[in-house]
Amino acid sequence: MKYDISPLRDKVKCVLKDKVERARERQMGYKLLILRVGDNKADISYENSIKKSAEGVGIEVEVSTFAELVTESEIIAEIKRGNLDDKIGGILLFHPLPKHLDADSIDSAIDSDKDIDCLSPSNQWKVFTSNGSIYPATAKSALLIAKDMMDLKGKRVLIINRSMVIGKPLAMMMLDENATVTIGHSKTESIPELAKGFDLVVYGTGQCQWVDESFVSKDQCIIDCGIAFTEEGKMVGDVNFDRVVDEVNYVTSVPGGVGSLTNLLLLDNMFQHK
Ligand SMILES: Nc1nc(=O)c2c([nH]1)NC[C@@H]1CN(c3ccc(C(=O)N[C@@H](CCC(=O)O)C(=O)O)cc3)C=[N+]21
């Protein structure tokens, strides 16, 4: 059946509103600075939904955009400006970056107190040593949904994504919940047969609706972190939702699933450090 995200989303939104209110009283800076390179569709849809959620809870958003051919030092200069501005409480840099840029040195420039998507090495280190204070928003969204779907203790989880914003941190977070975790990717063989043996499968490749009923088993749950666009420009996930919805325990939709909680959790991370 379809996983209904609205109770969880309402709860997260309610807590967030309260945090914004308290930050306002304490006159703490909580403006969000977004850095976007190029005009990738997934980045832009994330940006738009962040703006909408931010407006709903009274958070101001500033977006700095760069051409695809930007240099590292131009981006780092903008990050440094954000680090020094007391009004700015959080900095989000969209990933992945174009290949010519050294993502590590750019991510490292973000002040760890303003790094709300857990891109800086010190915040990532904390996640990998089970001492996390903030977590990447998409991974956290998937974790909260998973915990709402089941008790993860002892469960077999397959994650088809190996990035530092989803798969790797999510694996660490799920290990902390005592799940048994496997990470797969584009080179993994026989995914349909493999996937059937898991209690939970998290997909996040960004390939258009490639997961159908041949990948699933009856008591399984599926979390779809994929963002792709059809030729008509419609946003879809990795999962062919209509073909699996009646074959599994729970499956999340795109839109209206992981992504619709991600933007709230990203904003929430602004208040997590303090
Ligand atoms: N450092 C980094 N962290 C990310 O988490 C990250 C990123 N870079 N780069 C781009 C992708 C894409 N992404 C989305 C998240 C939410 C929606 C979203 O809010 N979608 C809504 C509605 C969108 C609509 O209907 O237009 C939904 O799924 O219901 C979209 C896309 C995060 N990403």
CA of 92 relative to ligand 1 center, distance in Å: 12
Nearest Cα residue to atom 30 of ligand 1: 46
95 is a domain residue = yes
Q: What is the mean pLDDT of residues 16-30?
A: 94
CA of 46 relative to ligand 1 center, distance in Å: 4
Q: Are residues 206 and 241 in the same domain?
A: yes
Structural tokens at position 142: 């998937």
Q: What is the mean pLDDT of residues 78-88?
A: 98
Report the Cα 195 to chain-centroid distance in Å. 22
The whole-number pLDDT of residue 14 equals 97
C-alpha 2/C-alpha 245 separation (Å) is 6
Percent of the chain exceeding pLDDT 70 equals 99
Count CB atoms within 10 A of the CB of residue 128: 13
Q: Which of 138, 164, 238, 253 to mutate to test the pocket of ligand 1 (most atoms within 8 A of CB)?
A: 138
The whole-number pLDDT of residue 25 equals 94
Complex ipTM: 0.97
For the chain, give the mean pLDDT. Answer: 97
Q: Are residues 143 and 253 in the same domain?
A: yes
128 is a domain residue = no
The whole-number pLDDT of residue 224 equals 98
Counting from 1 in the atom list of ligand 1, the atom nearest the Cα of 256 is 29
Q: Are residues 30 and 104 in the same domain?
A: yes
The pTM (predicted TM-score) of the whole model is: 0.97
Nearest Cα residue to atom 12 of ligand 1: 42
The whole-number pLDDT of residue 236 equals 98
CA of 43 relative to ligand 1 center, distance in Å: 7
Q: Are residues 204 and 174 in the same domain?
A: yes
Closest alpha carbon to 159 in 203, 213, 217? 203
At 130, give phi and psi (nearest 5°). 60, 30
Q: Residue 53: helix, strand or coil by DSSP?
A: helix
Residue 97 reports pLDDT greater than 70: yes
CA of 25 relative to ligand 1 center, distance in Å: 30
Counting from 1 in the atom list of ligand 1, the atom nearest the Cα of 254 is 28
149 is a domain residue = yes
Our count of domains for the chain comes to: 2
Helical residues (DSSP H) of the chain, grouped into ranges: 6-25, 41-57, 72-84, 103-108, 121-128, 137-149, 167-176, 191-195, 241-244, 258-269
The whole-number pLDDT of residue 190 equals 97
80 is a domain residue = yes
Q: Are residues 104 and 142 in the same domain?
A: no
The CATH number for 149's domain is: 3.40.50.720
CA of 259 relative to ligand 1 center, distance in Å: 5
Task: Express each pLDDT in 110-152 by its tens digit.
Answer: 999 999 999 999 999 999 999 999 999 999 999 999 999 999 9
188 is a domain residue = yes
Structural tokens at position 219: 């008591």
Q: Are residues 174 and 203 in the same domain?
A: yes
Residue 274 reports pLDDT greater than 60: no
Q: Are residues 204 and 250 in the same domain?
A: yes
78 is a domain residue = yes
Pocket residues: Cβ below 6 A from ligand 1: 42-43, 45-46, 49, 94-95, 117, 137-138, 165, 227, 235, 254-257, 259-260, 262-263
Domain that holds residue 189: 137-260
109 is a domain residue = yes
CA of 38 relative to ligand 1 center, distance in Å: 16
Q: Are residues 184 and 107 in the same domain?
A: no
Residue 55 reports pLDDT greater than 70: yes
Q: Are residues 153 and 211 in the same domain?
A: yes
The whole-number pLDDT of residue 207 equals 97
The CATH number for 80's domain is: 3.40.50.10860
Q: Are residues 185 and 253 in the same domain?
A: yes
- The confidence band for 273, taking pLDDT boundaries of 50, 70 and 90, is low
174 is a domain residue = yes
Q: Are residues 161 and 231 in the same domain?
A: yes
C-alpha 127/C-alpha 269 separation (Å) is 14
Cα dist from 35 to 70, 116, 189, 223, whole Å: 12, 12, 36, 27
Task: Express each pLDDT in 166-183 by its tens digit.
Answer: 999 999 999 999 999 999
Q: Are residues 146 and 237 in the same domain?
A: yes
